[in-house]
Amino acid sequence: MAALVANLMSILQKTPTVRKDKYDLPLPDTCHLELGEDVVGGKAVFVVGDVHGCLDELRDMIQVVKKMEPNVLFLFVGDLINRGPCSIGVLRLIQSGEIDCYAVRGNHEEIVLKEYRFMKNDPNYVLRTKHKWIKDMTTQDHHFLSQLPFTIGIPSLNSIVVHAGIVPGLSLDKQSLVALTRMRNIIEEDYFDGGGLVFSNKPDRGVPWSSLWPGPEHVYFGHDARRGFRQYDFATCLDTGCQYGKTLTGIFINGCQQIVSIKAKRIYCVGKPE
């Protein structure tokens, strides 16, 4: 399959760049952020899966990780917010400077940006109960979310952080922003009569995109609590459904290279993991 992806690279590269996201939100100043040695040099880099407002579990994880590696840079795969008990608390912690960190934009950041826009533009707009916490957001909170990049690359560690996935064979600037924040699977269509490698959010259509990712960069991602933690040669999923009463998971991508898993204190969101 890797050979197929490589052979079709030239066709895929002709795909036009997709600049709009699902909700036609303004783009951040930097869609694809790269962290150089001036940022990561001499630090342990720890990538954290979907937090979804689980503030207590995140604080427990930070405490454990800092005992393992005092000089650590945290990278978050997106979906910091929604579904869990304290989205505003997670949002403020990430911005506080308490930890050295960066994050990418997930589909729930986009949902909140959309809801915030509707709320500000229409005084009669009614937020659903699960989004009531958005009323506590400040303009600074909104600015922070709106400037989150879609990917973070760490060239020195040959790694990329994204929320959902990356279509194999396309450079980052050719990726659909919808794919980066929502895809789970790849559907292989005929390249002459179909669309080639087509991304899908449906886990029952096609195959996991990460199973086709040929590298050489290793991609760390979330957005797939139904399948949970899994590792391929060049991709690792870190979404382990903390909001569903499961765990919050992270991994050191250098240094000790250990996995840290924090058990959820309780079930915060009832339903089938997505």
pLDDT of the residue at 17: 40
In a domain, 111, yes or no: yes
In a domain, 253, yes or no: yes
Q: Which domain holds residue 66?
A: 36-263
In a domain, 223, yes or no: yes
Rg (CA), the chain: 18
**Better-scored residue on pLDDT, 67 or 193:** 67
Q: What is the mean pLDDT of residues 145-161?
A: 98
Task: Categorize the per-residue pLDDT at 179 as very low, low, confident or very high, splitting at 50, 70 and 90.
Answer: very high
In a domain, 271, yes or no: no
In a domain, 29, yes or no: no
Residues contacting residue 51 through CB under 8 Å, at least 6 positions apart: 57, 58, 76, 79, 80, 81, 84, 90, 242, 248
The tally of domains found in the chain comes to: 1
Task: Categorize the per-residue pLDDT at 23 as very low, low, confident or very high, splitting at 50, 70 and 90.
Answer: confident
228: CATH: 3.60.21.10
pLDDT of the residue at 193: 53
Query: What is the secondary structure of 145-175 as a DSSP string?
Result: HHT--SEEEEGGGTEEEESS---TT--GGGS
> What is the tens place of the pLDDT at every residue in 225-255?
999 999 999 999 999 999 999 999 999 999 8
pLDDT of the residue at 195: 59
In a domain, 19, yes or no: no
In a domain, 273, yes or no: no
**Better-scored residue on pLDDT, 5 or 127:** 127
> What is the tens place of the pLDDT at every residue in 28-41?
999 999 999 999 99
In a domain, 139, yes or no: yes
